[in-house]
Amino acid sequence: MQRRTVLSIAAAVPVAALAAPGTAQAAGYAGAGVTTIDLPAGWQPEGIAIGSRPYAYFGSRADGAIYRASLRTGVGKVFSPGPGTPSLGLKLDDRDRLFVSGGTGGDARVLDARSGAVLRSYRLAASGAFINDVVLTGDGAWFTDSFNPVLYRLAFGRRGSLPAEATPLALTGIPFTSGGVNTNGLTLTPDGRALLVIHSPSGVLYRVNTRTGAATAVDLAGETLVNGDGLLLEGRTLYAVQNRLNQVAAVRLSHDGTSGRVLTRVTDPAFDVPATVAAFGNRLWLPNARFTTPPTPETTYAAVSIKKP
C-alpha cells in the first residue's frame, strides 16, 4: 500500500540529472536500503546533504553538530561536533567538502566530509543575521540570509581553493520584513546562469542576477509555494519543500528559470514539517524538522524518504 498522497497530478515528465557539484548521480542504484533514518533524540534537524555515495549528512539546530548516516542501513553517528550555534543548510561538493550555513550564528563553515575536520570558517555578519541555505556552483558557494536582503558568496580560487573571506551581494526586488524568515531555500536555474530563491511568507520564487543582485519573480502561472523552504533542482525539475504544509511541490522550469508550472504536490503521512530535501537514486530524502513540536532533549526526530513524483 502506498502511503504518499498526490494532491494534484500533471503529465509525467522525465527528470534529468543535473551535473553539478555534490549531485547524487547514484549510477545503478535501485533504491535498496532503508526509507527512514532515526536521528539522535533532541537533534532538531534542518539541513541535509547527500553526495555520490549512499550517505546523508544532517545538521543540528540545537548545537550545530553534524550527523552522518548510511542510506543503506540507517546506522549513523555524530560526524563533527558543533560550534554551539545552529547548522542549517548543507551541501556537498565533488571535493568531499561539506558547506554549512550557520543560522543565527551569522557564519558559515566548510568541513572535510571524510574526517569532519573544519577546513575554514567564515564570519558573514556581525549580528542580526540568519544564514539559512547554501547552493554550490562551479566556481563558488552562495548563502541566503533570511533576515536581511543579501546573499553571501565564497568565490573559489584555482582548483577550487577556498577564499579567505566571503563577499556580500545586496538583493533588490524582494520584500523583506523584520522579525521573521524572508528568503529561504536557494538553488541554480537550469541553465546555471542565475540563482533561484524562495520567499517563504509569500511563496514567490525569485530569479536572482548574480552580478547585480536584482531579483524578478518567476512566472508560475498564478501558483505560489507558500511556506517554501529547501529547494532541489534536477535538470529542469525543481522540488520545493513547503514545510508547514507537509508537502513537496514539483515544478517544471523553463531553461532560463524565468517561468515554470507546478506539476504536482505530494504529501506523506510520515511528514512532520520537513524542512528541506536531497536526492539519492529514485528517492527524495527529507528531514522532519518538527517546527510545531516544542523541542526537548528527548524529542524524537527522523528523516524520511519518498519516491520521486
- 137 beta partners: 140
Nearest-angstrom CA–CA distance, 209 and 194: 5
Cβ pair 211, 171 in contact under 8 A: no
pLDDT at 32: 60
> What's the CATH number where 153 sits?
2.120.10.30
pLDDT at 5: 41
The three cell numbers of residue 125 are 555578519
Nearest-angstrom CA–CA distance, 212 and 210: 6
Residue recorded with cell 543540528: 60
Question: How much is the pTM?
Answer: 0.90
pLDDT averaged per 10 residues in sequence order, the chain, 309 residues: 39 30 38 87 98 97 98 97 96 97 97 97 94 96 98 96 97 94 98 98 98 98 98 98 98 98 98 98 98 98 97
Q: Which of 268, 266, 284 is nearest to 276 (CA)?
A: 284
pLDDT at 126: 85
Name 219's Cβ contacts closer than 8 Å, sequence gap at least 6: 258, 259, 260
pLDDT at 8: 35
pLDDT at 184: 98
pLDDT at 101: 98
pLDDT at 251: 98
Which structural domain range is residue 84 located in? 5-307
Question: How do the residues of the chain divide into helix, strand and coil, expressed in percent and rounded to 5?
Answer: 0, 45, 50
Strand segments (E) across 202-277:
204-208, 215-217, 228-234, 237-242, 247-253, 260-267
pLDDT at 111: 98
The total domain count for the chain is 1
The three cell numbers of residue 34 are 532503508
pLDDT at 9: 30
Sign of CA dihedral 64, 176, 247, 269: positive
Cβ pair 81, 103 in contact under 8 A: no
